[in-house]
Amino acid sequence: MKDYELRDDLRESVNRIYDMELFSSLTELIQGENHVLQYLVQHQDDEINPSLLSDHLHVSRSRITAALTALRKKGYVTMEMSEHDRRRMCVRLTSEGASLIKQKQERIEGYFEALVEGLGDDDVKEFIRLIEHSISIMNADSTGKIT
């Protein structure tokens, strides 16, 4: 098989993955408002402010502000004055926000459990190895060296 045929087959396979329900659910979880909620779930015991969210999620402050406004209107987060610095606002996850993210995570975990069951341990390990190797190669394109 020629290089361009392999490239085209790979692109078609990746496109089929993008078209799957799993991928859209996963993408939804790691972008926008859901990404903010996901971060808050993972850092529930920390004092999180909008600037910290912006820095850690690599999103502009204006986009974080818009996301937090929308999430507050939906009842998924609250904004409170910081206990340590009264000039700062602290973002808190509500039980409704935590419940929403938990449902989405469980749905995605179900997809991955089915994949692991269908592939088996050895194929899953090989799949992970190939993904990690692919990431190294793609990172090398920007840095010039494979990690």
| Residues 11-33: tens digit of each pLDDT | 898 888 878 777 776 666 667 88
Q: What is the pTM of this model?
A: 0.69
- % of residues, the chain, pLDDT over 90: 49
Which CATH number describes the domain made up of 3-106?
1.10.10.10
- Cα–Cα distance, 30 to 115 (Å, whole number): 20
- Cα–Cα distance, 22 to 53 (Å, whole number): 26
**Is pLDDT of 145 > 70?**
no
DSSP state of 48: B
Give tens-digit pLDDT for 54-93. Answer: 999 999 999 999 999 999 999 999 999 878 878 888 999 9
* Nearest CA-CA partner of 68 in 44, 97, 45: 97
